[in-house]
Structure 1
Amino acid sequence: MNFLVDNWIWLLSAAASGGALLWPTIGRGGADAVSPAEAVQLMNREKAVVIDVCEPAEFAAGHIGQARSIPLAQLEGSKSLPTNKALPLVMVCASGVRARRAAALARRLGHERVVVLDGGMNAWREAGLPVRKDA
């Protein structure tokens, strides 16, 4: 017990540095979250498939150009998911909340590499990336 009392400053420093190392992962919504720039790299370099889990009206109002529209409620039985379960999937919604649920479901369905666009379409727009609107 004397060791802890005598070395409290070192223990506090160790805890603070550990927290600082974990903060980027916690702050960006978890290890499975990617920024818009990282999502673009996945799409371009690894042929990631973008799955937009918004409702059809939200999708029509603005989505990533190559995105497949599969509302969250229809994801489990959807034939629009890629059959190659090794392909990376980028799950997208307006803010990222529904996309997290969709990512968990896709993993349960056997997809190996599933990430979430951190901040959703809001972050995509803020990054100045192109948004497609369907009439």
Structure 2
Amino acid sequence: MRKEALAMHNLGTGTHIEAHFLNDLQLDPLQAWEWVQDGQAVIVDVRCPEERQWFSQVPGAVAIPLHCLKQLFGLDEGTSELSGDSLAPMERRALTARLLRHASAGDALLCFCARGDRSLEAAQLLRELGYERSYAISGGMHGWEQAGLPLLRPMDIC
């Protein structure tokens, strides 16, 4: 994204959002939640299934682990370091459809992980693949929690 594009205005409120961008790839958690509430974005949880099972989740997030994103686009033919799983053809198609459904609707794709490293990698990967409205939520789940945004705790999910 070019620096000039950072000077855009939020369509919902007309407020200047340049201050919410930490760089051209990261988005502040509060701004991310505002975009989701306004129907402008979808959150993509790039954590592994084990992390989602044992730790808090963001309501409405689409779960597509980073290793699956890589496999979807043929960038990682190996197995996941954490789960040991590789994508079966049906899983690959289902994840691709899930991603494309949101991306083709014009939604921004807001990636998050535990602390922000994998989400930066995922957002960069998505941008390189043509999903220009892809961002990493700054600080990942840690930043989300610090901002006091809604969460589903593991005991709420069961």
Which of the five TM-score ranges fits, normalised by the shorter chain?
Answer: 0.7 to 0.9
Please name the residue that 1:106 is paired with: 126
Cα distance, 1:25–1:45 mapped onto 2, change above 3 Å: closer
1:53 aligned to 2:46? yes
Aligned pairs, number: 110
Structure 1, 38-47 or 114-123: larger mean CA deviation: 38-47
* TM-score of the pair, normalised by structure 2: 0.63
Please name the residue that 2:100 is paired with: 82
User: Secondary structure in 2 aligned to 1:131?
Assistant: coil
In the TM superposition, 1:33-48 aligns within 5 A as 33-48=26-41
Q: Does the aligned pair in 2 maintain the 1:85–1:111 contact within 8 Å?
A: no
Runs of 4+ with >2 A deviation: none
Please name the residue that 1:10 is paired with: none
User: Secondary structure in 2 aligned to 1:105?
Assistant: helix
Q: In 1, Cα distance between the equivalents of 2:68 and 2:147?
A: 29
Please name the residue that 1:17 is paired with: none
Where structure 1 has 5 or more consecutive residues not aligned to the other structure, the ranges are 1-23
1:115 aligned to 2:135? yes
Q: In 1, Cα distance between the equivalents of 2:149 and 2:141?
A: 10
Where structure 2 has 5 or more consecutive residues not aligned to the other structure, the ranges are 1-18, 73-94
Q: Over residues 14-66 of structure 1, what are the superposed CA-to-partner deviations in whole Å (9 max), with x where a residue is unaligned?
A: xxxxxxxxxx899x4x2221111100111122430100000111112211101
In the TM superposition, 1:56-71 aligns within 5 A as 56-60=49-53, 61-71=55-65
User: Secondary structure in 2 aligned to 1:112?
Assistant: coil
Report the RMSD for the aligned CA atoms in angstroms: 2.1
Q: Does the aligned pair in 1 maintain the 2:25–2:124 contact within 8 Å?
A: no
Percent of residue pairs bearing the same amino acid type: 32
Please name the residue that 2:82 is paired with: none
Q: Does the aligned pair in 1 maintain the 2:20–2:31 contact within 8 Å?
A: no
1:31 aligned to 2:24? yes
Q: In 2, Cα distance between the equivalents of 1:53 and 1:43?
A: 17
Structure 1, 103-112 or 86-95: larger mean CA deviation: 103-112
Q: Over residues 65-123 of structure 1, what are the superposed CA-to-partner deviations in whole Å (9 max), with x where a residue is unaligned?
A: 01011110001413221340732010000011000110111112221201111000001
